[in-house]
Amino acid sequence: MEIKVKLFATLRENRGKEVSLELKEGATAEDALKKLEIPKKEVAILMINGRDDDPGKELKSGDLLSIFPPVGGG
């Protein structure tokens, strides 16, 4: 299945803003992070389709994953 990943702030370095990922059926957000070589400790906020979600949750084809490093305040 294919999912879309949006990356933000420092996570964009060497990876770009937006990537499409081909994952096996039943793959989770964690699997997506592994494929993108993003260490878990660099992830502060993870949204699936705009909602905070558990990184262990199974993804569906067409899902949008948004990943943020520690940021913010304002």
Partner 1 sequence: MHGYRGKILRVNLTDHTWKVEDLDEKKALSYIGGRGLGSKIMAEEVDPNVDAFSPENKVIIATGPLTGTPTPAGGRYMVVTKSPLSGTIASSNSGGYWGSELKFAGYDLIILEGKSPKPVNVFIEDDKVELRDASHVWGKIVSETTEALAKEAPDKAKILCIGPAGEKLSKIAAVMNDINRAAGRSGVGAVLGSKNLKAIVVKGSSKPTIANPDKLKEVTKAARQNIKDNGVTGQGLPTYGTAVLVNIINEGGVFPTNNFQTTYFDKAENISGEHLAENFLIKRESCFACPIACGRYAKADDIEGGGPEYETIWAFGAACGVSDMKEVIKANYWCNELGLDTISAGVTIAAAMELYQRGKIKDNDIDEGLSLKFGDAKSMVEWTKKMGNREGMIGDKMAEGSHRMGEHFGMPEVAMAVKKLELPAYDPRGIQGQGLQYATSNRGGCHVRGYMISPEILGLPQKLDRFAIDGKAEWVKIFQDLTAYIDSAGLCLFTSFAIDAKGYADMISAVIGQEFSDADILEAGDRIWNLERNYNLKAGIDPSQDTLPKRLLEDPIPDGPSKGNKSRLSEMLPIYYNIRGWDESGIPKPETLQKLQVEA
Pseudo-torsion of CA 70, 33, 65, 16, nearest 10°? 80
Q: Which of 2, 10, 16, 60 binds partner 1 (CB under 8 A)?
A: 10
Write the DSSP assignment of 23-73 as a string of letters. Answer: --TT-BHHHHHHHTT--GGG-SEEEETTEE--TTSBP-TT-EEEEE-S---
**Position 15 contacts partner 1 (CB under 8 A):** no
**Position 74 contacts partner 1 (CB under 8 A):** yes
Site for partner 1 in 23-52 (CB under 8 A): 44-45, 47, 49-52
Kindly list the residues in this chain that would bind partner 1 in the complex (CB under 8 A): 6, 8-10, 12, 17, 44-45, 47, 49-52, 66, 68-74
